[in-house]
Structure 1
């Protein structure tokens, strides 16, 4: 089986699972990070979600510290920390502290998303206005990390921590102007017109001390199993949860599934759309589809996302994906 000849990493959203506690969900993330390191993945990232019933990961900096302490070589990062929710100085201090404790192993992915509901946005004191200031806040964050701000953030980072932008809206253009790495997923990955986010990022990229050239992480839901139906069943619980969030306003804990798509037609459409955008199947099929994605996008790295209810199945999927990347 041919190698992908490209680094592969993991983003774990710390999904809760029906029947388990949230503490058990976070413990599962830590165990997966340890396994990912042994399997040879380049990075292991965690996300930021607030007051979402089905996601236990709300404090990426805290979780990153725990994961870095339990691993030795794999890069640990955020995918991402949402700048509308935080003061740039605090984000810089957290990243710099982690990099001081675990030098050369910390990635800082940042985004501009705001809370899932209006109540969450009020609790965070963040909303549309803060999201619109993303580029300004990003520049402030970089100044603290680089040591060029009006005050000196401690510990000093000296620009050592790589920074990536999670592309939403104009995120690709902002990443290009700042000379940062880009994380791109969803439909934007598959548009290849001159106006695509990828083309705008590459054409507008300004080299920086962090990235002398454009660097793209292609974020895509991935599941690998012995059969196509088994791989689909790994992704279906998260697809169901996402569909419920869009139709009922609640993202529930991942639940077991018999592999069928049920519910109102709108819910079924959302589930099928989620699965259509994912890459899942047997190892040869996943390798073929990932190779097609890389040919189409020229991405520098794959960031495999997707939460599974079946932890054993997820562990096997990670193993098979690592084999594809290394064999």
Structure 2
């Protein structure tokens, strides 16, 4: 099974926001040394806790510091962009780092109403994701009326970030699917994956259905240590529901000193319950269950925590355990 990383360029309390990008590049170089197959960056706009609004820019920096690991977007949110512009950006990456580039595509809109307005989006807009994706693919295949430049010998590999309707679209368009988030923990996961495999229409690039599962995985000596590592992210997520702002990661000690309302406590517990964490005896069977349900060919770890040294140690331990 291939093992990969999805890094969200999380900002951290006490660090300048720009440091998050340098941290991502350093993590990618470390992941390559550990034998990870892919390193993907995320796209989030005007989110205080995330520094990466442009995966293509981040991946160019990662590519300059690495030589083998695949570089990808998890993902480019296609509703934010013109397909030609996305094709040009990732063909530039392909020209700079041949045969190493992935283009993961999603359809998520802006984080808040103000951000959606800034992105010129309206919630009542007609959903053009599937047609935009087909247009993008026509540029990569050089089948469009205009030619996206630069022309390269190889082209980026396309992936669909599959949440809800995403699996249906991926099957219809013949794309590999990346499954993460609530869908991965849904009782309907097995049925949704079976439908994807049944309805998959082979494409020139992807003759067979392919699935990557993306999950928060906290490998530690004990379950309590895993919960401590996951707390920074769970706290930020819970607080965002109350404040409307996804905040930088905070040290666990600082979080423990703050007031937790009953609602905050409940939300944190739900987040911690969804993650896979603890010693190998807990983590491995949980991962194996998901692999059995999905028949996934690859695991993409999307873990983040405040303590960067602990994160690097965890990346190494996960690679040692699962590869």
Helix, strand or coil at the partner of 1:22:
coil
1:211 corresponds in structure 2 to 206
**Which of the numbers 83, 107, 111 marks the counterpart of 1:112?**
107
1:155 corresponds in structure 2 to 150
Aligned mates of 2:304, 2:189 — CA distance in 1 = 33
2:123 corresponds in structure 1 to 128
Quick one: structure 1 residues 46 and 130, their matched pair in 2 at CA, closer, same or farther if it must change by over 3 Å? farther
Aligned mates of 1:296, 1:138 — CA distance in 2 = 28
**Which of the numbers 159, 165, 182 marks the counterpart of 1:164?**
159
Do 1:96 and 1:157's aligned partners in 2 also have CA atoms closer than 8 Å?
Answer: yes
Which structure 1 residue ranges, 5 or more long, are not aligned?
Answer: 1-5
Helix, strand or coil at the partner of 1:234:
helix
Greater Cα offset, 120-129 or 76-85: 120-129
Helix, strand or coil at the partner of 1:263:
coil
1:226 corresponds in structure 2 to 221
**Which of the numbers 79, 82, 88 marks the counterpart of 1:87?**
82
Give the superposition deviation at 1:169. 2.8
Structure 2 residue 285 is the aligned partner of structure 1 residue 302: no
Which structure 2 residue ranges, 5 or more long, are not aligned?
Answer: none
Give the superposition deviation at 1:192. 6.0
Quick one: structure 1 residues 181 and 115, their matched pair in 2 at CA, closer, same or farther if it must change by over 3 Å? same
**Which of the numbers 307, 312, 317 marks the counterpart of 1:315?**
312
Cα deviation, 1:218-243, whole Å, max 9, x if unaligned, reads: 11101112222222211110111011
**Which of the numbers 27, 34, 37 marks the counterpart of 1:42?**
37
Greater Cα offset, 291-300 or 176-185: 291-300
Do 2:183 and 2:189's aligned partners in 1 also have CA atoms closer than 8 Å?
Answer: no
Under a length normalisation based on structure 1, what TM-score does the superposition of the two structures give?
A: 0.93
Do 1:221 and 1:278's aligned partners in 2 also have CA atoms closer than 8 Å?
Answer: yes
Under a length normalisation based on structure 2, what TM-score does the superposition of the two structures give?
A: 0.94
Greater Cα offset, 33-42 or 20-29: 20-29
Structure 2 residue 199 is the aligned partner of structure 1 residue 196: no
**Which of the numbers 280, 286, 291 marks the counterpart of 2:288?**
291
Structure 2 residue 276 is the aligned partner of structure 1 residue 279: yes
Structure 2 residue 241 is the aligned partner of structure 1 residue 246: yes
Aligned residue pairs: how many? 321
Aligned mates of 2:313, 2:66 — CA distance in 1 = 20
Helix, strand or coil at the partner of 1:8:
strand
CA RMSD of aligned residues (A): 1.8
Aligned mates of 2:70, 2:259 — CA distance in 1 = 39
Cα deviation, 1:86-142, whole Å, max 9, x if unaligned, reads: 100000111111011111111000100111111111111123355711111101110
Structure 2 residue 70 is the aligned partner of structure 1 residue 70: no
